Structure 1
């Protein structure tokens, strides 16, 4: 599932027009149906019951699409960091103390990369899905 999610993110990131095209189709084409079937097949073969496989597919699909959409619309390069952008548009700390704290903490080292957040979020989702798969009843 991790590999498929990362692959989908990569493809959608390289083809920014793809999200709009995929979402605009009233009827999915054979390629999209094959992709959905393959993802569901992986989940089912890995022991996910049908209902949990549906939940897993839905949440991972929404996460990947949402992350790519956010990446495409950031006002800075997601892979190189936000330090320059933050320096330009730093919000006033008196009005936004927690936002300023977060920005300072993340950009202080110069190592922050929004793109790296993808793996963290995907880990959270996959860990919870694995936990739920392990707690099956009946």
Structure 2
């Protein structure tokens, strides 16, 4: 019989992430994680103090999967890479969206991530206030975009063009919206393509504000 791998803090957190991927954060409990690992719940307490500590560790788990900018590298490509990586990570693990900014006791990885983002902006010459604004607006954009993608009312296999055709807005009642959809939402339209365009608009605005400060 093959022996079971020894229980470690890393395995506990990875199991919690697997539960969250399957059931959302509401499904994460010490019992559920123990079942995922095939152990008794009490054995988890040798590696994590309680559920709150487990959620803190999950926030760290998400943070380590988002690319860290390097202090000293050009700020614009660094912020673009981080935003793109954050979107990919939060899309793959939707439960992370409301978790990574909500913990009162953030872990080392989460703190290191915040420090690196600010460090990159400050090293580039951003004033503290503008660095704070940049951090806030970029996260708001990424989080909002991911949330919108997760809640779009499309059926599996349905395109935006299919949805618009089914909606069939009367032009006399909604002239501007109908004209917009007719012009913008064609057979090749994908809402996901909006991400990079919107990100560039934000970075353009930050660059303009930065160079003019």
TM-score by length of 1: 0.87
Deviations 1:108-133 (A, max 9, x none): 3x121111111111111111111111
Q: How does 1:1-138 map to 2 (within 5 A)?
A: 1-76=79-154, 81-108=159-186, 110-136=187-213
On the 8 A contact 1:81/1:114 being kept in 2, the answer is no
Structure 2 unaligned segments of length 5 or more: list them: 1-78
Q: Per the alignment, in what secondary structure is the counterpart of residue 123 of structure 1?
A: helix
Equivalent position SS for 1:22 = coil
State the superposition RMSD in angstroms: 1.7
4+ runs of 1 displaced by more than 6 Å? none
**TM-score normalized with structure 2 length:** 0.58
Task: Pick 1 or 2: higher relative contact order, CA cutoff 8 A, min separation 6.
Answer: 1
Deviation at 1:91, TM superposition (A): 2.0
Q: CA–CA distance in 2 between the matches of 1:87 and 1:16?
A: 29
Number of the residue aligned with 2:13: none
SS in 2 for 1:92: coil
CA shift, 1:17, in A, is 1.4
Count the aligned residue pairs. Answer: 133
Q: Which has the larger radius of gyration?
A: 2
